[in-house]
Structure 1
Amino acid sequence: MSEETVPHQGGGAGAATGQPKGLLQQMEELMAALNADLSALDADLQSAGSAGRGAVEDGETG
């Protein structure tokens, strides 16, 4: 299968210049996005958990 037949998702810098992104660059971008999402989720959980901390304290590992 050639690179032209693979649909590109997201239109990053590689798509803007017309050059296909390498697999490593795609994985790095996906990992960065995942890390940002997990950080936001962690912040949400931390703020929600601080209100009802006593109810879940026994199950926490730190």
Structure 2
Amino acid sequence: MSEETVPQQGGAQPKGLLQQMEELMAALNADLSALDADLQSAGEAARATEEERAGQTGRPGAGPAALPSGAARRRERADRELR
């Protein structure tokens, strides 16, 4: 790493390894927080788009995710047979 061999300006002492790691962790934490915010807003936008699609079809949650699972279909069929 060339940064380690470059002398600091102003005669300041070079940063210790612990201080470098703390700065890197702080930068990483800031990057992860920004990524989390981006993903949260993307998820909200996707949910809004899905709600718009459901409103256009007249069925809430219309689409593959709204289809009942195999277990749900079997449960519905068993309930009908019991009636």
Aligned residues: 46
Q: Give ranges in structure 1 of 5+ residues lacking alignment.
A: 1-5, 10-14, 58-62
- What is the rounded CA distance, in whole Å, between the counterparts of 2:14 and 2:2 in structure 1? 11
Structure 2: 5+ residue runs without aligned partners?
A: 51-62, 66-83
Deviates more, 1:36-45 or 1:15-24: 15-24
Greater relative contact order (CA < 8 Å, ≥ 6 in sequence): 1
Aligned to 1:26: 20
1:33-48 to 2 correspondences below 5 Å: 33-48=27-42
Residue 27 of structure 1: how far off its partner (Å): 0.1
**What TM-score comes out, normalization by structure 1 length?**
0.60
TM-score, normalising length: structure 2: 0.46
Shift of 1:19: 1.1
Give RMSD over aligned pairs.
Answer: 2.6
Amino acid at match of 2:31: D
Offset at residue 7 of structure 1 (A) = 2.4
Q: List, as ranges, runs of 4+ consecutive aligned residues in structure 1 with deviation greater than 4 Å.
A: none
- Flag the structure with larger Rg: 2
Q: Report what 2:3 is aligned to.
A: 8
Q: As a proportion of its length, which structure holds more helix?
A: 2
Cα deviations by residue, 1:27-53 (Å, 9 ceiling, x for unpaired): 000000000000000000000111113
Identity %: 72
